[in-house]
Amino acid sequence: MRKIFGYLSAFKGRMAVGLSLKILGTFAELVLPLIMAYMLDEVAPAGDAWALGLWGAGMLVCALAALWGNVAANRMASRVARDTTERLRDDLFAKTLRLSAAQTDRATIPSLVSRLSSDTYNVHNMIGMMQRLGVRAPILLIGGVALTFTVDPVLALVLLVTVPVLTAVVALVAGRGIGLYGRLQRSVDAMVRKVRDDYTGIRVIKALSRTGYESRSFAAVNEKVSRDETRAALTMGASGPVMNAVLNVGMAVVLFLGAYRVSDGMAGVGDLTAFTSYFTIILNAVISVGRIFVNLSKGAASAGRIAEILDLPEEMTALPDLPQEEGEPYLRFEHVSFSYGGKAPALRDIDFSLNKGESLGILGATGSGKSTLAALLLRFYDPDEGRILLEGRDLRSFSRQELREKFGVVFQNDFLMAASIGENVDFERDLPEEQLEEAVRAARAEAFVAEHGGFKGKLTARGSNFSGGQKQRLLIARALAGRPEILILDDSSSALDYRTDAMLRRTLTRDLSGTTVVMIAQRISSVRFADRILVLDRGRAEGFGSDVDLMRTCPLYGRIFASQHGGDPEAPEEGARPAEGEGGAGPAGEGGLA
């Protein structure tokens, strides 16, 4: 909650005005029963119509003041809640973008989505309600009890007995409510994760007839959310009926004693009427207090979850004191080992170097550590042991911006926006159109881009109106458009036919001679052209060298080749022979896309 108070401090002037208006309106509301009692017991029996009219006008003024003060204060409260939540949401989103990959892994994407959506919504409701009712309800409750003593102290003592009981109920329920709503939000995180996974793989689920299983799986997650929601709702919902029951018992006692005192002449009818009015005000105030604590419990639990993310320390910051070493290769992995969360090593003692402009192919089975190596190169994670040098500098000495500007990347599960082709290739970098056209040509995407209306052609969500191979080439064009020093292609040709893949490789070799290319693949034909090839197996380097060297020295490389090419080391790559003119812009260059 301390974090939320920090955001509210920016609006303390507006809140002070709103709270002042709320106090004014509330006190005006409290005066009304006193005026009514005086009119009934003093003015009406005297038969003074003029005085009766004046006091009636006074009641009208107080009623209008209460209405205006409460409405104006509620409008200010709504604006404060809106603006505070907007800033909080902006800062939370910006923080999620700055989280390290390890922090994101620990928090999980569904949990971050839930904190940005439902948790900020709960905080918004809490801030608004605390301003609308957080002042009014306590004033009505305390002020109503206090004013009953001015009306009839004996009856007020009966009412006062109920206050400790009500306080105990509120404290008990609020204490349990924060924990219950925290558990509910964690269940919602799991449901968001399930929905996201199912919607991402909806085609596979349908193709494999797994809709029934996924429906049952979701039903189990949904049932847990319902159980946690019911438990929280029942606990918080118990406060209202219990408080109402206590007050109603008190009300019955007050009416019985009040009638007895009126019949004995110890109290007037106006006093009893005013007392019952105050009792109604107090009852409504108690109901409001119950609502406040429900929203406070939700908001406090959500505020704590938001603060967990906002308070995370900045990781992957630059370490400028690390020395720069002269005479080093352009890129060097120096005995690098790494594991995710201290579990089994994903990479073990990886040691190799690469000169500027050379190409590196990384080959290995699923789970061998290929993508992990690329993640370390981008400094999504830091090695557990060893170090990575770029231009003689430890990667940890680069600022995040300086390092990432050197790279163009295509990941395995990359994404395309529901926007134009030009916007997807440019990716908000404001690159000149000539540079975009150059990148599209290099990615062998010129022909189908033209068929879809050029750079103004539209993509649907996730690029579903393009084939798999076309999407991959758009992603490669995006990576090339920034003219990176290092190009990382993580299994980015898996959806290309052999012919298009071979032409793309020739383009990378011929047109990007100054760019260091790191290509990750499971298909050996995608990396044979590389100057150096790193063969990984279960996180270990089983071979490093050229295609010719590895054929001679690395048994694993030979086995992979044999399994993919029928055992003939001299077999040419499928589709490696260029089309006439080597353009690939016609139908022949587009055929066979996945």
Reduce the secondary structure of 161-226 to three states and give it as a string. HHHHHHHHHHHHHHHHHHHHHHHHHHHHHHHHHHHHHHHHCHHHHHHCCCHHHHHHHHHHHHHHHH
Confidence category of residue 208, pLDDT binned at 50, 70, 90: low
Task: State the helix-helix crossing angle for 468-481 and 433-442, rounded to 10 degrees.
Answer: 130
> In this structure, is the dihedral angle defined by the CA atoms of residues 535, 540, 544 and 548, taken in order, positive or negative?
negative
Q: Name the average pLDDT for the chain.
A: 81
Q: Which candidate, 482, 463, 459, places its Cα nearest to that of 472?
A: 463
Q: Which pLDDT score, from 0 to 100, does residue 51 have?
A: 83
Cα-to-chain-centroid distance, residue 178? 21
- For residue 252, is pLDDT > 90? no
Half-sphere exposure (CA, 13 Å, Cβ side) for 2? 3
The DSSP element (H or E) to which 67 belongs, if any, is helix 49-98
Which band of pLDDT confidence, cut at 50, 70 and 90, is reported for residue 472? confident
Six-digit token string for 3: 């974090």
Is pLDDT above 90 for 469? no
Residue 148 is predicted with a pLDDT of 78
Sheet containing strand 486-490, strands side by side: 393-394, 385-390, 331-339, 345-354, 540-545, 532-537, 359-364, 516-521, 486-490, 407-410
The total of other beta-carbon atoms located within 10 Å of residue 225's CB is 17
Residue 583, C-beta contacts closer than 8 angstroms, at least 6 positions apart: 589
Could you tell me the pLDDT band of residue 360, with boundaries at 50, 70 and 90?
A: very high
Report the alpha-carbon distance of residue 372 to residue 41 in Å, rounded: 85
**Residue 532 DSSP class:** E
Three-state secondary-structure class, residue 327: coil
Q: How many angstroms separate the CA atoms of 28 and 35, rounded? A: 11
Tokens at 492, concatenated:
């980015």
Report the sign of the C-alpha dihedral through residues 8, 10, 11, 12, in that order: positive
Question: Which among 532, 552, 561 is positioned nearest to 351, based on CA atoms?
Answer: 532
Provide the angle, in degrees to the nearest 10, between the axes of the packed helices 211-237 and 269-310. 140
Question: Residue 572: which pLDDT band, with cuts at 50, 70 and 90?
Answer: very low
* Tokens coding 65: 């003041």
- pLDDT for residue 334 is more than 90: yes
Contact 428, 478 (CB under 8 A): no
Residues 89-141 have pLDDT tens digits of 999 999 998 888 888 888 888 888 888 888 898 899 889 888 888 888 888 88
Give me the mean pLDDT over the 207-231 stretch: 82
In order, the DSSP letters of 99-129 are S-HHHHHHH-HHHHHHIIIIIHHHHHHHHHH
Q: Supply the pLDDT for residue 555.
A: 92
Q: What is the pLDDT of residue 258?
A: 73
Dihedral (C-alpha) 157, 159, 165, 169: value to the nearest 10 degrees? -150
Would you give the end-to-end CA distance of the chain in angstroms?
52
Q: Is residue 310 pLDDT above 90, yes or no?
A: yes
Q: What are phi and psi of 387, to 5 degrees?
A: -155, 165
pLDDT, position 578: 36
Class of domain 6-170+239-310: mainly alpha
Counts for the chain of helices (H) and strands (E), in that order = 23, 10
**Integer Cα distance of 574 and 526 in angstroms:** 11
Domain layout of the chain by residue ranges? 6-170+239-310, 357-380+404-588
- Contact between residue 535 and residue 361 where contact means Cβ atoms under 8 Å apart: no
Q: Tell me the per-residue pLDDT of 39-68, one tens digit each, with 9 for 90 and over.
A: 877 777 777 788 888 888 888 998 898 889
* Average pLDDT value for residue range 446-464: 85
Higher confidence at residue 199 or residue 544?
544
Each residue of 391-423: pLDDT tens digit?
Answer: 989 999 998 888 888 998 888 767 888 889 898
Query: What's the CA angle centered on 124, arms 173 and 79, to 5 degrees?
Result: 135
**How many Å apart are CA 545 and CA 535, to the nearest integer?**
9
Whether 92 and 123 have beta carbons less than 8 Å apart is answered as no
CATH homologous superfamily of domain 357-380+404-588?
Answer: P-loop containing nucleotide triphosphate hydrolases (3.40.50.300)
What local confidence, expressed as pLDDT, does residue 493 receive? 67
Give the rounded distance of the alpha carbon of 440 from its chain centre: 33
